[in-house]
Structure 1
Amino acid sequence: MRLSELGGKEIVDVKKAERLGVLGQTDLEINERTGQVEALVIPSLKWFGLKRQGGEMRVPWRHIKKIGADMVIIDIPEEE
């Protein structure tokens, strides 16, 4: 899969059944030594995505369970 194919996919938390954001509005955290993607950094949004609250959520790549045609499914253990 190419980076350009990830844009526009919704990020959904499988445990909370909640939409966290859209790829394209997120940042990728990349390890400079290895070139591997370490995490998604999802900004906290307010008012239907129109205004940033200033916070962000870091989702380690290992918690991404499935990248489908329309969405990215994440599963974050409750202890994190």
Structure 2
Amino acid sequence: KLQGLSHEVTVFGEPLQRAVNRPVTKDEIEKRLRKMGNTNYKLTDFSIILDDDSFVPMGEIAKLKREALAAFEREAVSGRSVEEQKTA
């Protein structure tokens, strides 16, 4: 979920896999999500529930981040707030 002052979007990806070699860590995922590139956004809060033996390709994390940022940008441009969307 990506949330701003008046906009919120949620994206979904593939289910996590069971790690064969080395599980992914929360720190690795957070580090990848904090890299916002040439955007006007920054990650200020991060939480995740992750099993100790979970694996997700970092490419999948990057893809979800791109999708969330694009959806968030569309919502911001549309000018509709979260409350307006809930009543629509």
Shorter chain as normaliser: what TM range?
Answer: under 0.3
Task: Please identify which structure carries the higher strand content.
Answer: 1
Please report the TM-score for the alignment, with normalisation by the length of structure 2: 0.24
Structure with max Cα Rg: 2
Task: Please identify which structure carries the higher helix content.
Answer: 2
